[in-house]
Structure 1
Amino acid sequence: MANKYDGLARIIIQNVGGKSNVISLTHCVTRLRFKLKDENKANTEILKKTDGIVTVMKSGGQYQVVIGNHVPDVFEVVNKIGGFSSLENENNDSKEKMNFGSSLIDIISGIFAPTLGVLAATGMIKGILALLVYFNVLSSDGGTYQLLYTVSDGFFHYLPIMLGYSAAKKFKVNLFTGLALGGALMYMDDVLKLASMTPIATYFAGTDFVQNVYAKFLGIPILLPASGYASSVIPIILAVWMASKIEKMWKKIVPDVVKTFLVPMLTLAIATPLTFLIIGPIASLLTSVITVATNGIYNFSPIIAGVFLGALWQVLVIFGLHWGVVPIAMVNLSTLGYDPILSLIFAASFAQTAVVLAIIFKTKDKKLKSIAIPAFISGIFGVTEPAIYGVTLPKKKPFFISCIAAAIGGAIIGGLKINGYIIGGLGVFGIPSYINDKTNDITGMLWMLFALAISMIIAFILTMITYKDDKEDELKDEDKTVGVTKGIIASPLKGDIKELSEVNDEAFSNSALGKGVAIIPSEGKLISPADGVLKTIFPTGHAVGIKTDFGAEILIHIGMDTVKLNGKYFTKKIKQGEHVKKGQVLIEFDLEALKREGYSMITPIIITNSSEYLDLIYETNKKIDFGENLITLL
């Protein structure tokens, strides 16, 4: 059954260089993230101009096609049509090289992106529970609270197992090997807590790098961080990376007949001790270093940190580099129980949204307003790419205003030292993240609301004062529909109007030949859509080209692949070069015979010089009769 995103999916696949050019495909909240063999094969400009695509970015070794909120639906169709789910294994030996920064961002986004949706969802549940307890709707001792708290806290507590799975996918190791290593870290952690064991030795006591010894492996001390491995991030990622190297070695050695169970067994037999004896201690020390360093910078001047991160956050989002901050927040939450870093950028999406709201009030441009309204709604829920790419960045000044307002919001948040206690949702769904769920104290949330309000007010007022439509935008609505109308194309057929993307021919469906519509005819007659000169009429009679008296160049192609009939079933009523009148019959064709022969009769009507016009106005998915207005050219 056809999907409404089929046409868009085919355009995307074709213009990233085809399936053969794709190494892998993932997606995040708003973007399709391709890794391409050769980015030079991608038709970036065509993709940017395609309806349904916000923009295209190249960052972190990824070719990012920004779609918007419905990216999961588009991803599903692109993946299905392109068959990209199998590409990771097919391209496993790809020699593509990325610099260290690009590789790091690629790894972080690949591992964390699949978990963030559920991580945010469980964090939101925890925030709502804290609110319900604060307002005495629920008791923290009651069964309802306890049951919901198990999932809200459980996902983050057992995060090493979840990351073990996503890291295994990223490093292309057996998925259950990654789960097993995460389970081992948590098993050791939980068993020690249940047994209330006392360390037999302690290293780095009195510092931020404390390591305890509870047992020995072949006489070697097993070091465990004082905070344990619950909710940890770095140890499991490094452990799975190491396991991927070990597994690859065993796959070359172990006979195929016993690979299924022997490779995982030998991999885990080596990887598990190495994880606890080497990887775990080193990773936990690295975690402590990151915590001390980031919080040292924050403590030096939380206000300066807020200004810096607040101002730059939307820029990081544009290039997909914001993923580098996510692990830092997770490290802070797992070691400190709170995070001050992501708090500093929380005002950025609200500032961006307030700027868009001001533009909605100020602009007289209908097209801009039609983009801005859904972008504003999306921004309320924390997804700002539609606002950035569709509204503020093209206008430049509004984008800078949003950065200034976000910097001011970040300074207030830093000055008030507002901490986040969970990885919550985006936008308004993230507000409960600033409730201390351990004490059910909502003070942080109230101060955050104050900071957001200041940031939004500044963004809104500055935009209202400074924003002006471009000269092209300042045309009144009646000017746009009358004074700038360059011509009207009448319907050359009777039938059902369809989107051009529904034509099963990429030359038409991706608008490479020009913009327009398609009609599925119900009668076998083609008339002239306007007064003009018949520049082209194919000998086969299946297609005509007309240049109208007002300058539009029209191509009409009756059916798909009908050229193969060499004129059978087509009767030409006029000769090339003649001047034709609107409504004059150009071609008659045997519609029923063509259908019996198995030909698709969807007929593209293309304005081949559509780039010379500001816009084409038309309606689809409705019936139309001969001579009725089909396309208005602006």
Structure 2
Amino acid sequence: MASKYDGLARIIIQNVGGKDNVASVEHCMTRLRFELKDESKANTEMLKNTDGIVNVISSGGQYQVIIGNHVGQVYQALVEKGRFEKQADDEETGKQGKKGLLNAFVGTISGIFVPVIGLLCACGMIKGVLVLLSTFGVLSATDGTYIILSAIGDCIFYFFPVFIGYTAAKKFKVNEFIGLAIGTSMIYPTLISLMSGDAINVLFSGTALESNVYLTFLKIPVILNNYTSTVIPVILAVWFASKVERFSKKVVPNVIKSFGVPLLTLVIAVPITFMVIGPVATWISGLIGMLVSTLYQLSPIVFGAFVGGFWQVFVMFGIHQGLIPIVINNLATMKYDTIFAATATASFTQVAILLAIMIRTKNKRLKTTSFSAFFSSLFGITEPAIYGVTLPLKTPFIISCITSAVGGGLAMFLGVKFYNMGGQGIFAFPTYVNPNGNALHDILMVVIAMAVAMVLAFILMLIFFKDKAEASTATAGVDLNPTNAELASPLGSTQTPSSDSPIVLGSPIAGRIVPLSEVKDEAFSQGYMGNGIAIEPTEGKIVAPADGILTSLYPTGHAMGITTDSGLELLIHVGKDTVKLKGKYFKVHVKQGDAIKKGQLLGEFEIDSIINAGYSTLTPFIVTNNNDYEQFAVTDQALVGTGDIIITLNKY
């Protein structure tokens, strides 16, 4: 079935080096997470300049393409077009040995947990709401409604080894059903029931590792643990099983491989899991919980300030995914967590800052972008705010980190704890419902911490905000007349503009000027790609707006990126979805990497043919690094010819 994101999916596939360069791809709340065989084959600049993509970063061994709230739809189109269901083995990718320990760890954890995060949050919210309903007497634990909803809420947590067994198997490239079998065996009811009886022996008596023995396997003592809700044991067990399966494939005859490989793998992996991997992993889990608890006890305020203050930085680089198993482990071992509790205010400081910007700015495009990101941040999705507003403006991002640190430290001072996985932003409140005490205490405390952090962020933003001129109305005091002596010389001439001299750009296309806000693509209309203007062409020619380098050129000829001699980064994008024409009706006269001169013919396109094919030719002309300039003015002329000055900028 065709999707409106098919074109974007094709662009992404082509610019990550083609589908053969993709070892694996997953997605989280806002971004596509690729593992590429050779990252040097990816065209990062082209992706960054593609409408529909907020940003591209490489972190944690992953190549991350940030999409926004509709990442799920883009992912579905991507999987369909690239047929990524079957992925290469680690040996084929050649990546595992090159990532480094931290990157390999984050990449592995992301691959295992990202697929279940949505379900995990949904079930956690149900659990939190049930506690509130029980506290207020709306439902009792014996009501049928309560029991059924409780079954939904508890399903993933009780059977967590089963879910993780499946996703870990996919990540470690082992038969998924073997992963499921290992997970189910670890929570087999008969084995769990044995722990309620008398122990037949005690191992490591008198030490921190003292453990009861309830049964033996081939006369070898087995230390039983309750593995429901646990994380680390099943991950290590499936990793071990992946090694056993590869060995099994080599030694089992082809005639019985279909059942012989799973048989040999399970007969070896499951007993080893119960005798060695499970107990060791349980001890490791306990130590991790003790370490987090110890750091918290040393100084709750410092702990909260550090985690809260750096959380948005963690999110930017995607390394926050590496903390998820620690949080889940804390919930399993301690029944609460302080890491996520310390991040409670992070998205809300962004909300306060965006609100302050909307109040202070006269820039309609910045106001529109902030408004859209405001609502995303309310729901805990902060990437549009970070990449679209606060990070490019620098000061707002610094303020958000500082106030999030204050909020995190205050939350820990007030004793806030996190009791269930759940939603983000305003949907996170059920996660602070204490099921074993005062249900509302932590919610009240976290609201206090949020309020303090938000008020502080709002006030600081009002004080330190420096507005940016509106592109369509900031022409006052700026002479856009081409005969003006200051502006008449070409940008790439031998005369280098001083820091006080305005920089001018000629129109790359002849046509009718259209405000960028009228482009029917929010990546452009809401300023995600940068500031600029749109042109409805009257002539199918593209000329260089300034001297510089053609840094990117899409193969179909409909989009190109230019870096001018003065450092401006420009994007010219002819039409919407014209990539689907696959170069038809476009002719390119230059190649990527060429030095170009202002007014030079770069390409041509057939306006009537493109329109008759059902596509718009409205062309956004964007300065993607416009945040380096305090004044951004566009011409008030309705019609322009190629080379006419249409944009003027002044540096800070």
- Superposition TM-score tier, normalisation by shorter sequence: 0.7 to 0.9
What are the residue-to-residue correspondences of 1:343-382 with 2, within 5 Å?
343-382=341-380
Tell me the amino acid that sits aligned with residue 605 of structure 2: H
Distance 1:601 1:65, change over 3 A: closer
Report the equivalent of 2:415. Answer: 417
Task: From 268, 289, 303, give the equivalent of 2:301.
Answer: 303
What are the residue-to-residue correspondences of 1:368-517 with 2, within 5 Å?
368-439=366-437, 441-470=439-468, 473=469, 477=473, 479=475, 489-490=510-511, 506-511=555-560, 515-517=572-574
Distance 1:159 1:557, change over 3 A: same
SS at 2:68 equivalent? coil
Report the equivalent of 2:174. Answer: 173
Give, in whole Å, the separation in 2 of the partners of 1:515 and 1:46.
12
Report the equivalent of 2:76. Answer: 76
Contact 2:470 2:633 in 1 (8 A): no
Report the equivalent of 1:525. Answer: none
Contact 1:11 1:509 in 2 (8 A): no
1:448-506 Cα shifts (integer Å, max 9, x gaps): 11111111111111111111124xx35673639x97697784479xxxx99899xxx84
Report the equivalent of 2:104. Answer: 103
Report the equivalent of 2:17. Answer: 17
Report the equivalent of 2:605. Answer: 557
Tell me the amino acid that sits aligned with residue 252 of structure 1: K
Report the equivalent of 2:53. Answer: 53
Task: Give, in angstroms, the shift of residue 439 of structure 1.
Answer: 4.2
Tell me the amino acid that sits aligned with residue 48 of structure 1: K
| Corresponding position: 1:321 with 2:319 | yes
Give, in whole Å, the separation in 1 of the partners of 2:459 and 2:150.
41
Report the equivalent of 2:93. Answer: 94
Distance 1:337 1:606, change over 3 A: closer
Give, in whole Å, the separation in 2 of the partners of 1:509 and 1:9.
16
Contact 1:243 1:268 in 2 (8 A): yes
**Runs of 5+ in structure 2 lacking a partner?**
482-505, 514-518, 525-553, 563-570, 579-584, 590-597, 627-631, 648-652
Distance 1:138 1:518, change over 3 A: same
Tell me the amino acid that sits aligned with residue 200 of structure 1: I
Report the equivalent of 1:41. Answer: 41
Contact 1:556 1:603 in 2 (8 A): no
Give, in whole Å, the separation in 1 of the partners of 2:213 and 2:34.
44
Contact 1:554 1:607 in 2 (8 A): no
Contact 1:21 1:37 in 2 (8 A): yes
Distance 1:239 1:55, change over 3 A: same
| Corresponding position: 1:115 with 2:116 | yes
Give, in whole Å, the separation in 2 of the partners of 1:152 and 1:520.
42
SS at 1:193 equivalent? helix
Give, in whole Å, the separation in 2 of the partners of 1:47 and 1:520.
15
Task: Give, in angstroms, the shift of residue 543 of structure 1.
Answer: 6.8
Give, in whole Å, the separation in 2 of the partners of 1:230 and 1:154.
10
SS at 1:222 equivalent? strand
Tell me the amino acid that sits aligned with residue 236 of structure 1: V
1:202-222 Cα shifts (integer Å, max 9, x gaps): 446687645221111111111
Task: Give, in angstroms, the shift of residue 428 of structure 1.
Answer: 1.0
Larger fraction in helix:
1
Contact 2:169 2:179 in 1 (8 A): yes
Tell me the amino acid that sits aligned with residue 66 of structure 1: I
Contact 1:7 1:509 in 2 (8 A): no
SS at 2:11 equivalent? helix
1:312-348 Cα shifts (integer Å, max 9, x gaps): 1111111111122211111111111111221111111
1:570-615 Cα shifts (integer Å, max 9, x gaps): xxxxxxxxxxxxxxxxxxx9x8xx99xxx96869686999899979
Contact 2:32 2:65 in 1 (8 A): yes
Percent of counterpart pairs with the same letter? 44
Higher mean alpha-carbon deviation, 602-611 vs 247-256, is at 602-611
Give, in whole Å, the separation in 2 of the partners of 1:129 and 1:112.
25
Task: Give, in angstroms, the shift of residue 418 of structure 1.
Answer: 1.2
- TM-align CA RMSD: 3.7
Higher mean alpha-carbon deviation, 385-394 vs 506-515, is at 506-515
Contact 1:120 1:425 in 2 (8 A): yes
Report the equivalent of 1:196. Answer: 196
Distance 1:59 1:610, change over 3 A: closer
Give, in whole Å, the separation in 2 of the partners of 1:440 and 1:551.
71
Give, in whole Å, the separation in 2 of the partners of 1:316 and 1:119.
21
Distance 1:245 1:459, change over 3 A: same
Give, in whole Å, the separation in 2 of the partners of 1:520 and 1:149.
47
Higher mean alpha-carbon deviation, 304-313 vs 210-219, is at 210-219
Higher mean alpha-carbon deviation, 169-178 vs 203-212, is at 203-212
TM value normalised by structure 2:
0.77
Task: Give, in angstroms, the shift of residue 354 of structure 1.
Answer: 1.5
Distance 1:19 1:484, change over 3 A: farther
Higher mean alpha-carbon deviation, 97-106 vs 231-240, is at 97-106
Give, in whole Å, the separation in 1 of the partners of 2:600 and 2:150.
65
Task: Give, in angstroms, the shift of residue 437 of structure 1.
Answer: 2.1
Distance 1:432 1:318, change over 3 A: same
Report the equivalent of 2:30. Answer: 30
Report the equivalent of 2:542. Answer: none
Tell me the amino acid that sits aligned with residue 236 of structure 2: L
SS at 1:508 equivalent? coil
Report the equivalent of 1:219. Answer: 219
Give, in whole Å, the separation in 2 of the partners of 1:284 and 1:520.
53
| Corresponding position: 1:184 with 2:185 | yes
1:49-89 Cα shifts (integer Å, max 9, x gaps): 22211111111111111111111111111222222222335
Distance 1:370 1:51, change over 3 A: farther
Tell me the amino acid that sits aligned with residue 51 of structure 1: D
Distance 1:323 1:609, change over 3 A: closer
Task: Give, in angstroms, the shift of residue 256 of structure 1.
Answer: 2.2
Tell me the amino acid that sits aligned with residue 170 of structure 1: K
Larger Rg: 1
Give, in whole Å, the separation in 1 of the partners of 2:342 and 2:625.
46
Contact 2:305 2:408 in 1 (8 A): yes
Contact 1:11 1:510 in 2 (8 A): no
**Runs of 5+ in structure 1 lacking a partner?**
522-540, 560-588, 618-625
Distance 1:553 1:331, change over 3 A: same
Give, in whole Å, the separation in 1 of the partners of 2:222 and 2:64.
43
Task: Give, in angstroms, the shift of residue 114 of structure 1.
Answer: 0.7
Report the equivalent of 1:580. Answer: none
Tell me the amino acid that sits aligned with residue 56 of structure 2: V
Task: Give, in angstroms, the shift of residue 191 of structure 1.
Answer: 4.6
1:421-453 Cα shifts (integer Å, max 9, x gaps): 111111111111111124462111111111111
